[in-house]
Amino acid sequence: MTKRFLLAAAFVMSAAAALAEGDVTKEKFSPFFTREEAPHLEHVLPEPPSLTDPLFHNDWVQYQWGRSMQDSERGRLAVDDASIGAGYFMKRFTPEVGIELTPETHPELFRLFSRLHLTEQQAGASAKAFFHRVRPYQQFKEPSGVPRHESATDFTSYPSGHTHASWLVGLALASIDPEHTEGIMKVAYELGQSRVIVGFHYQSDVDAGRVAASITFARVMSEPEFQKQYEKARKEYAKVKRAAKK
């Protein structure tokens, strides 16, 4: 009995290992460039508005708008949008492109999104450290819509990293599927606004995140590793799209 049990257990473990081996979500990814190689966005972005700056009034108004949305369906979507990642991007963009995007159907696209997300973290790091801006929930001493993500010492509100990543991935996907540019970038825009709704970023943080993503996209396009992965994702996307139309 023991021998048979051990053999069965070994078979199950072997099968699970074989399954995991082909699972792109289990892979380890690296960014397309390092923090040292990234553009210093603090040399491009303006200073975020201070509390006495007239421009801060718009941040305050948008913060109040965000709080008013938190108990709505849009507010619940904003909470979901806090958990970004390659798989979540695929889920959010699927309704706009007319084909289902999953790690199983588009592993190369998953790899591209994953590496772009990591690249954004490298590109935004120096600006976040330089500006050292407090987040809205910290400034106003009010709970955010995603309390599990809160920190008393995380002063990295500007520019918005979630927006940076979402807009960057949106630009890449729109260039792969230009037919659906409007829908793709609409979702990318919504992902940024979700950060205002949950009270994790000011509107000016989100606006700066979109500028940062545009700069990062221009920079990453020159990287041979990006070009290689992008081309794999583009060919895969075209192949799946053709198959879906048959």
| CA gap 76, 144 in Å, rounded | 12
> If you average pLDDT over residues 153-162, what whole number do you get?
97
Retrieve residue 205's tokens.
């943080």
- 43 as an active site residue: the answer is no
Q: Is 76 one of the annotated active-site residues of the chain?
A: no
Residue 228's domain spans which residues? 32-245
Q: What is the pLDDT of residue 21?
A: 56
The pLDDT tens digits for 170-197 are: 999 999 999 999 999 999 999 999 999 9
Maximum alpha-carbon separation in the chain: 78
Which position among 67, 195, 207, 210 bears the catalytic label? Answer: 195
Q: Is residue 10, in this structure, part of any structural domain at all?
A: no
Q: How confident is residue 245, by pLDDT bands cut at 50, 70 and 90?
A: confident
Instruction: Answer yes or no: 164 catalytic.
Output: no
pLDDT at position 20 over 50:
no
Residue 60 in domain: yes
Average of per-residue pLDDT across 36-57: 97
Please tell me the total count of domains within the chain. 1
> Does residue 240 have a pLDDT over 70?
yes
| Mean pLDDT, residues 134-153 | 96
| 1 pLDDT higher than 80 | no
Say whether pLDDT at 6 is over 90. Answer: no
Is the pLDDT confidence value at 15 over 70? no
Of residues 59, 81, 177, 205, which has the active-site annotation? 205
What mean pLDDT is predicted for residues 98-120? 98
pLDDT tier for residue 22 given thresholds of 50, 70 and 90: confident
- Non-local CB neighbours of 55 within 8 Å, separated by 6+ positions: 49, 204
Using one digit for the tens of pLDDT, what is the confidence trace for 93-105? 999 999 999 999 9
The stretch 57-66 carries a mean pLDDT of 98
Coil/strand/helix, residue 53: coil
Q: What count of other Cβ atoms lies within 10 Å of the Cβ of residue 94?
A: 14
CATH number at residue 174: 1.20.144.10
Is 25 within the bounds of a domain? Answer: no
Known catalytic membership, residue 201: yes
Q: Is the pLDDT of residue 16 over 50?
A: no
Q: What is the mean pLDDT of the chain?
A: 92
Q: Tell me how many degrees the CA angle 53-55-56 measures, rounded to the nearest 5.
A: 70
Of residues 7 and 130, more confidence is placed in 130
- pLDDT over 90 percentage in the chain: 89
Q: Is residue 156 part of a domain?
A: yes
Q: Report yes or no on 80 lying in a domain.
A: yes
Beta-carbon contacts of 77 under 8 Å, excluding residues fewer than 6 positions away, are: 190, 194
d(CA 216, CA 193): 20
User: CA angle, 115 as apex, 113 and 120 as ends, to 5°?
Assistant: 95
Residue 220 Cα distances to 34, 78, 121, 169, 242, angstroms: 11, 28, 13, 12, 28
Predicted confidence band of residue 244 (pLDDT cuts 50, 70, 90): confident
Establish if 69 belongs to a structural domain.
yes
Of 67, 117, 162, 164, catalytic: 162
Residues 43-50, mean pLDDT to the nearest whole number: 97
pLDDT at residue number 234 = 98
Which band of pLDDT confidence, cut at 50, 70 and 90, is reported for residue 8? very low
Is residue 4 over pLDDT 50? no
Flag whether 6 is in a domain. no
Is residue 23 one of the residues assigned to a domain? no
